[in-house]
Amino acid sequence: MTETAERPLRALAERAMRHSWFPVARSIDVQPGPVPAVLLGTKLAVFRDGDGVARVVENRCPHRGGSLGHGRVTGGSIACPYHGWRFDGATGACDYVPSLADQSMIPPRAGITTLPAVERYGHVWTVLEEPIRDLYENPHWQGLDLEWLAADPLDSSTGVGVAIENFRDVAHFPFVHEVSMGPTPEVVAPLEVQRDGFDVFMARELDAGSGDWAEQGDCTMYYHCSAPGFATITYDYAQLGRRVVAGFPSPVAYDRLVIFWGVANEVGFRGDSLEANLAIETEVYLEDLPIADKLEPREIPWDREFQEHSVPSDVFTLNYRRSFREFMDAVAQRFPEA
Amino acid sequence: MVADRSTLLDVRIQAMRVEADGVLSVEFRRPDGSDLPEWAPGAHVTVHLPSGRTRQYSLNSRPDDRSHYRVGVLKVPGGQGGSAEMHELRVGASVQISPPLNAFPLADDAEALLIAGGIGITPILAMTRALRDRGTPFRLVYAGREESSMAFLDEVRSLAPEAVVVTEREHGRPDLEALLAAHPGVPVYACGPGGMLDALTAIGDRLGADVRLERFAPEVAVAAPGDLLAPPEFSVRLARAGRVVGVHGGESILTAVRAAGIDVDSSCEMGVCGTCETRVLAGRIDHRDLLLSPAERERGDTMMVCVSRSLDGDLDLDL
């Protein structure tokens, strides 16, 4: 408690994220599931009901505390693995207690909390409290028909902000990605960054290096990130069309993540297959994790509890931090603390 | 660059022309039509836009016709807004420009190899004209994504009919290594995207070639030593400290406030990091940082005191 009392912005950052959308499962893992998930300490179960609709519910069975995420799906309901109690995915009401001869005897208030569930970008997203913002959209994708492939989620002992900053940082390429990208220049050409509310944009020409990552040739890379937890790169190849890599770190706790992420190709993309692009991006990401996992502190030092110095190559990061602050301020204003 | 306002030139936009997709040429002329300062190929001017943004552009008109300057402006998608603001200006608009500076001079070489990538043609065009007029043998390679995006192509072709135009769409990227290897001992003048210039630098190092580059530099403000005996350019009133501090032409608000014994947190001191962000209670701000968004600039209630200044008159700060 003292930690958050002395660090008001850290506390606000965590509180604000409860009002924003995060993925809690890959779509392909809820066919129909269920799978357990944790978002900012809240245990959840994710599944797909008999009509194909994704559902996110509280994980704890209110009978004797069974983990619904380890149960099974029955039509529109999720059944507890312990005594088989079933709960309706839409309303949360208990609709079947196997041990009862007379189902009209179900305790009337037995039920679980249901959360909003939206399927987008190959993942199931939810939000813990009333959302301050809509689920992320990328203006670069307007009118673009994207086919998604969700990557294997990665565990990381950092916070959302640090993961987003790593995802779109460019100055670390020659040090962390020498294998996947080949030698890249150390000097970072001026970054042209544009920020609008929670969104930050940057366009950069990719001069193909010699690594696997660049073997599809030169392109324009459109970076977009949106506070708190959305980072994407849209690669626009003059000859091949557009492809995407996107990261959606999801906070299990304030400074511990499951990094959900994926790739997408424009329908008709003439470059590599989704699987090949995912393999390349995985090679890149696996180079980042051992570095990111050892960063100190593990999340952005909002309360200046650590000193950091910045140079012009950090302009995207610094703009993202401002957009995150704007997001925090919006939550503080609209949902004042009780 | 901290502008010494007295040396800025008042000019008017005399003409604008679409040169290619996303590229405009802009001609500046003095309101009274008198000659502008002398310049040589490779020179650029800093344009001070009405919003307070500054942008540098290479001159590509004829140095012997000083009735006007011409620059080429590429609209940068996702940029900080400087190029977009230039594109929104209209003929007749008044702006201020710095006198020409030349960080990319054309030497008196016996022979030269010119390489332009995209909007990097602007200084190279002026060099092409100069070399042709001097009768110096030269070779010009102009690379771009596709012809429709390549500015000044007609002028390039009429000045240098033997120029090699390489489009990525038809020919892919030019083979820079082969190009430099085919011209041993010939100085190279190049301007273009950072990636191309990085590649040229590496190839030049490898082959021992003399590669001279113009990079489009970030708009980073740097304080120049000022004349502290002169009267201050403006003053800042520090609301919490109850002090008034004069800020001279060559010093930042940060420096002046610190010299007065009031500490302000800072880190980069070039308008990037936001550490010295200070609330502004009154006054009009000349924003020169790289971090604030257009909306935040417009609100006018916060500034980076390491680089930003007063637009006119004094500022009241929450210090």
For range B142-169, the mean pLDDT: 91
Cβ count within 10 A of residue B184: 9
* Token pair listed for A288: 């980042």
Nearest to A134 by CA among A200, A54, A223, A227: A227
pLDDT in tens, B200-247: 888 998 898 899 988 764 333 333 334 445 568 899 999 998 888 999
Mean pLDDT, rounded, for A55-72: 98
**Inter-chain residue contact A207 with B77, CB threshold 8 Å:** no
Structural tokens at position B101: 């500076």
> How far does chain B reach from its first CA to its final CA, in angstroms?
25
What's the gap in Å between the CA of B282 and the closest CA on chain A?
22
Whole-model pTM: value is 0.65
User: Position of tokens 């949902």?
Assistant: A335
Length of chain A: 338
The reported pLDDT for the residue numbered B223 is 32
What percent of chain B is modeled with pLDDT above 70? 92
User: Across the interface, do A207 and B193 touch by the CB < 8 Å criterion?
Assistant: yes
Contact of A58 with A69, CB cutoff 8 Å: no
| Tokens matching residue A306 | 């650590």
Non-local CB neighbours of A259 within 8 Å, separated by 6+ positions: A153, A154, A155, A156, A163, A247, A248, A249, A250
Please choose, from the candidates B160, B117, B155, the residue with its C-alpha nearest in 3D space to the C-alpha of residue B139.
B160
User: Do residues B248 and B268 touch, judged by C-beta distance below 8 A?
Assistant: no
Query: Do the strands B309-317 and B234-238 form a parallel or antiparallel pair, or are they unpaired?
Result: parallel
Selecting from A190, A193, A318 the residue whose C-beta is nearest the C-beta of B273 gives: A318
Statement: residue B2 has pLDDT above 60: no
Does the pLDDT value for residue B12 go beyond 70?
yes
Between strands B164-167 and B138-144, the pairing is: parallel
CB pair distance less than 8 Å for B195 and A207: yes
Neighbours of B239 (CB within 10 A): 14
Position B242, amino acid: G
Closest approach of A210 to chain B, Cα-based (Å): 12
Cβ A9 vs Cβ A22: under 8 Å: no
Mean pLDDT across chain A:
93
Give the A-side interface with B, CB within 8 Å.
185, 187, 189-197, 201-203, 205-207, 218, 222, 238-239, 307-312, 314-315, 318-319, 321-322
Are B196 and A207 inside 8 Å of each other by CB? yes
Phi/psi for A315 (5° steps) reads -60, -35
Distance between CA atoms of A283 and A178, rounded to whole angstroms?
11
This model of the complex carries an ipTM of 0.78
Nearest to B145 among A193, A238, A315 (CB): A238
pLDDT at B1: 35
Q: In the prediction, which pLDDT does A1 show?
A: 41
Question: Does the beta-carbon distance from A308 to B267 stay under 8 Å?
Answer: yes
How many residues are there in chain B? 319
At B220 the pLDDT is: 34
Instruction: List the A72-74 sheet strands across, edge first.
Output: A72-74, A77-79, A86-88, A94-96
pLDDT averaged over chain B?
Answer: 86
CB atoms < 10 A from the CB of B31, how many?
A: 9
Q: How confident is the model at residue B103 (pLDDT cuts 50, 70, 90)?
A: confident
Provide long-range contacts, Cβ within 8 A and 24+ apart, for A167-171. A167/A225, A167/A231, A167/A247, A168/A202, A168/A223, A168/A225, A168/A231, A168/A233, A168/A316, A168/A317, A168/A320, A169/A316, A169/A317, A170/A204, A170/A313, A170/A316, A171/A313, A171/A314
In Å, how far is A200's CA from the nearest CA of chain B?
9
Per DSSP, helices labelled H in A217-337 are: 274-292, 315-334
Question: CA–CA separation, B113 vs B289, rounded Å?
Answer: 37
Helix, strand, coil distribution of chain B in percent, nearest 5: 25, 30, 45
| Residue A34 · residue A71 · CB < 8 Å | yes
Contact B236, B315 (CB under 8 A): yes
Of A197, A203, A205, the CB nearest to B195: A205
Work out the angle between the directed axes of helices A160-168 and A274-292 (0-180°, nearest 10).
120
Domain limits, chain B: 5-97, 112-214, 225-317
CATH class of the domain whose range is B112-214: alpha beta
CATH superfamily for B225-317 is Beta-grasp domain (3.10.20.30)
Give the per-residue pLDDT at A213: 64
Looking at the structure, give the CATH architecture of the domain made up of residues B5-97: Beta Barrel (2.40)
C-alpha span between A160 and A250 (Å, rounded): 7
What token pair was written down for B81? Answer: 């807004």
Q: How confident is the model at residue A211 (pLDDT cuts 50, 70, 90)?
A: low
Q: Report the gap between the CA of B77 and the closest CA in chain A (Å).
A: 7
Q: State whether the Cα torsion A304-A306-A309-A315 is positive or negative.
A: negative
Cβ contact A198:A226 at 8 Å: yes
